[in-house]
Amino acid sequence: MKPQIFVTRRLPQGAMDLLEENFNVECNPNDRVLTREELLSSVKGKQGLLPLLTETVDGEVMDAAGKGLRIVANYAVGYNNIDLAAATARKIAVTNTPGVLTETTADLTMGLILSVARRIVEADTFARAGKYRNWAPLLLVGADIHNKTLGLFGFGRIGFAVARRAAGFDMRILYHDLKRAEAELEKQVNAEYVDKETLLKESDFVSVHVPLSPDTLHMIGPEELSSMKSTAFIINTSRGEVIDEDALVAALGAKKIAGAGLDVFEHEPKIHPALAKMDNVVILPHIGSASIETRTQMGLVAAKNMIAALRGDVPPNCLNPEIYV
Ligand code: DGY
């Protein structure tokens, strides 16, 4: 008999097909996030759970599944929605989908940099409203991107992919991370490792590419925002909680920084009402990885993790391989 799995939201068809070939798949029939009660009752008796970042998978959910649960295959590279320690304690594998969304997320990051600096969304709204009467020297003037300085917090896969793109715009690239990258990687994009203060002080664009953890929660707060240039922009395609959103609203309101490009929010899907009123903020509904190619690949990676774990192998993207020793 095929193992029973639960998928919390319908995935692109290619991924659903692969899952259905291998498992008895039960899937959330509705196009909405499950309630906590629905999640707790749906996991009962399943050997595999495939959640999204919209579900908190903690010990209670794992226990609701029962003793047979062997894998939580997250449909995301970030896994702050999963209690990894609780899974490890119960010998349940946890996997994510690294790699396949790197380039797509980096594309969107560049999109935010371009949009916010060149006022693309504002200009589109202006033109659609029938306000374009004459070309004018100061009509919707923004800031240049080329030859400017990009500061990257986090120089992992996505940070580096953004740096590669930025190098094509002749940007100077600074980065800060827990540890310095290999000289060869730095050389490829001409990136300079700097301390946090230098990055904040010298960058025209500060872009955040760190995972959410207790160490990165509110990593950008009032002090950091005050250290930035008043002409600088902040970009976030990682996790909303990395930036203290009240501090961001205050800094934007006081014109301590020039603008923000945000794909993620501290209380997602809620967006701070003040941000939504600011013309110098571009707001996207967490679409960093949202291309059909990438969302399909993410589903295939999650499915392959599930297949390996339920066959008794260590899944390729296992975050707690220690459960297998
Ligand atoms: C992730 O994978 O962590 C993104 O936020 C969604 O693709």
Domain with CATH 3.40.50.720 in the chain: 4-100+292-324, 102-283
Residue of minimum CA distance from atom 3 in ligand 1: 78
Tokens (6 digits) for 288 = 């960093």
Average pLDDT over the chain, rounded to an integer: 98
The residue to mutate among 54, 75, 77, having the most atoms of ligand 1 within 8 angstroms of its beta carbon, is 77
Nearest CA to ligand 1 atom 4: 76
Q: What is the pLDDT of residue 18?
A: 98
CA-CA distances (angstroms) from residue 219 to 106, 210, 243, 316?
21, 10, 6, 31
Task: Report the distance separating Cα 12 and Cα 108, nearest Å.
Answer: 20
Q: What is the per-residue pLDDT for 70?
A: 98
Asked if 116 and 281 count as a contact pair (C-beta separation under 8 A), the reply is: yes
User: Shortest CA distance to 89 belongs to which of 68, 62, 65?
Assistant: 62
Using the mean position of ligand 1's atoms as its centre, give its distance from the Cα of residue 134 in Å.
42
pLDDT in the model for residue 164: 98
DSSP state letters, 153-180: E--SHHHHHHHHHHHHTT-EEEEE-SSP
For residues 197-236, b (16+ Cβ closer than 10 Å) or e, as one string?
A: eebbebbbbbbbbbbbeeebeebbeeebbebbbeebbbbb
Pocket mutation for ligand 1, best pick of 8, 53, 284, 287 (most atoms within 8 Å of C-beta):
53
What per-residue confidence (pLDDT) applies to 104?
Answer: 98
Contact 288, 110 (CB under 8 A): no
Residues of the chain with pLDDT under 50: none
Is 101 a pocket residue for ligand 1 (Cβ < 6 Å)? yes
Topology of domain 102-283, CATH:
Rossmann fold (3.40.50)
- Please state the length of the chain: 325
CA atoms of 240 and 263, how far apart (whole Å) = 8
Q: What's residue 78's pLDDT?
A: 98
Residue 135: CA count within 13 A, CB half-sphere: 0
Q: Is 286 part of the annotated catalytic residue set?
A: yes
Q: What is the pLDDT of residue 319?
A: 98
In tens, the pLDDT along 86-104 reads 999 999 999 999 999 999 9
Does the CB atom of residue 212 touch ligand 1 within 6 A?
no
- Residue-wise pLDDT for 153-202, tens only, equals 999 999 999 999 999 999 999 999 999 999 999 999 999 999 999 999 99
146 is catalytic: no
Q: Which atom of ligand 1 lies at the shortest distance from residue 79's CA?
A: 3
How many angstroms is it from 267 CA to the middle of ligand 1? 16
Q: Among 3.40.50.720, 3.30.70.100, 3.10.20.30, 3.40.50.970, what is the CATH number of 4-100+292-324? A: 3.40.50.720
